[in-house]
Amino acid sequence: MKEELPRRGKTTIAPEVLVTIARLSALSVPGVARLSTAPLAVDRLFQRSAGEGVRLDVRGHSVVVDLHVVIQHDANVREVGRALQAAVTRAIQDMVGMQVLAVNVHIEDVAFPETVARSEST
């Protein structure tokens, strides 16, 4: 039988920690070039994470994540989206123990190599 230790207080996790976990998890997914600036909605005007490509909605012990990403030009959009959802969900659940209700992926742009962009503009 496993003996439980008595609780001696509570642990509080700042929303910025969740943003960092989501951001680093998203950037580790193959096919993601970078995070995009999340559009600023009026109801989210004072949300700190809005400009970092990650937007969070914490609901009790659960979280909804919105990711705004730029993908690499040769990436499969569907595969990258699914990999982002899995990676961010797994990281938040494993590191913090919070339930992830949804990870909404917003593909904001496609990043092309600089050499391709130059040759197209000439």
Tell me the CATH number at 83: 3.30.70.1350
Between residues 76 and 3, the one the model is more confident about: 76
In a domain, 1, yes or no: no
pTM score of the predicted model: 0.79
Residue 50: is its pLDDT beyond 90? no
Residue 44: is its pLDDT beyond 60? no
| Three-state secondary structure call for residue 51 | helix
Amino acid found at 37: T
In a domain, 2, yes or no: no
| Three-state secondary structure call for residue 20 | helix
CB 28 within 8 A of CB 90: no
Determine the structural domain holding residue 104 and report its residue range. Answer: 15-39+50-121
In a domain, 111, yes or no: yes
In a domain, 55, yes or no: yes
In whole angstroms, give the CA distance from residue 61 to residue 109. Answer: 32
* CA 106 distance to own-chain centroid: 10
Report the number of distinct structural domains present in the chain: 1
Q: What is the pLDDT of residues 66-105, one digit of tens each?
A: 999 999 999 999 999 999 999 999 999 999 999 999 999 9
Alpha-carbon Rg of the chain, whole angstroms?
A: 17
State the chain's mean pLDDT as an integer.
85
pLDDT score for 37: 83
